[in-house]
Structure 1
Amino acid sequence: MVERRLTALIAASITLMALAILWNVFMRHRVPVAAPVRPPVSAVPDTATHTAPDTATPRPQPPVTTTTSQGVGADTGGLSYMDALARSETRRRVRASAGVTYLNEIVAASQDSMLHRWDNRGRNPVRVYVTPGTVANFQPGFVDAIRGAFAEWGTTGVPVRFDLGGDSTNAEVTFRWRIQFEIERTGQTDLEWDQDGHILRATVTIATFDPKGRPLGVDDVRAVALHEIGHVIGLDHSPDSTDLMYAKGTIRRLSDRDVRTALLLYQLTPGSLR
Structure 2
Amino acid sequence: MKRSDLIPVMLLLPVLGFVAVQAMHTRAITATTQAASLAPASRVHKKHSASHTMESAASIGESSDDNSTLDYDVDMKTRDVIDIRRRIQLGENGTYIGEILGERDSALARWPERLTTPVRVWVGSGPEIAGWDPSYPERVRDAFDQWANLGIPVKFTFVRDSTDADVHVSWIDHFDSPISGKTIWARDGKWWIVTANITLALHHNAGELLDSKAVRAIALHEVGHLLGLDHTADTANIMTARVRVRDLSEADRATMKLLYSLPPGSVK
Using structure 2 for the length normalisation, give the TM-score.
0.68
Partner of 1:206: 200
Q: Which whole-Å deviations, capped at 9, do the CAs of 1:33-67 have from their partners, x for residues lacking one?
A: xxxxxxxxxxxxxxxxxxxxxxxxxxxxxxxxxxx
The answer as to 2:126 corresponding to 1:123 is no
Q: Residues 214 and 123 (structure 1 numbering): CA distance in 2 closer, same or farther, change over 3 Å? A: same
Q: Distance in 1 between matches of 2:235 and 2:209?
A: 24
- 1:185 aligned onto 2:179: yes
Partner of 2:217: 223
* Shift in Å, 1:129: 0.6
CA–CA separation in structure 2 for the residues paired with 1:217 and 1:93: 41
1:248 aligns with 2:229: no
Q: Deviations over 1:155-211 (max 9, x none)?
A: 211221101125211211000111122334211110000010111100001010124
User: Structure 1 vs Structure 2: percent identity of aligned residues?
Assistant: 37
The alpha-carbon deviation at position 96 of structure 1 amounts to: 4.2
CA distance in structure 1 between the partners assigned to 2:169 and 2:179 by the alignment: 16
Aligned partners of 1:189 and 1:121: how far apart in 2? 20
Alignment of 1:1-274 (within 5 A): 69-70=31-32, 80=77, 82-83=78-79, 86-111=80-105, 113-133=106-126, 134-274=128-268
Shift of 1:94: 2.5
Distance 1:209 1:273, change over 3 A: same
Taking a change above 3 Å as real, the CA distance of residues 79 and 178 of structure 1, as seen in their structure-2 partners, is closer
Give SS of 2:162's match. Answer: coil
Maintained 8 Å contact 1:175/1:205: yes
**CA RMSD, aligned part only?**
2.1
Once residues 267 and 161 of structure 2 are traced to their aligned partners in structure 1, the CA distance between those partners, rounded to angstroms, is: 35
Q: Which moved more, 1:251-260 or 1:136-145?
A: 136-145
**C-alpha distance after superposition, 1:101-136 (max 9, x if no partner):** 11111011114x321111111111000011221333
- Aligned partner letter, 1:162: F
Whole-Å separation in 1 of the counterparts to 2:131 and 2:32 = 39
**What amino acid is aligned across from residue 114 of structure 1 in structure 2?**
A
More helix by share: 1
Greater Rg, structure 1 or structure 2? Answer: 1
Identify unmatched segments of 5+ residues in structure 2.
Answer: 1-29, 39-74
- Across the two proteins, how many residue pairs are aligned to each other? 198
1:60-95: CA deviations, max 9, x gaps? xxxxxxxx81299xxxxx963x42xx1122123324
| Counterpart contact for 2:159–2:165, Cα < 8 Å | no
Report runs of 4+ in structure 1 exceeding 6 Å deviation. Answer: none
Partners of 1:211 and 1:152 lie apart in 2 by 28
Q: Residue type of the partner of 1:185? A: I
- What is the identity, as a one-letter code, of the residue corresponding to 2:262? L
| TM-score calculated relative to the size of structure 1 | 0.67
Tell me, yes or no, if the aligned pair for 2:115 and 2:154 is still in contact at 8 Å. yes
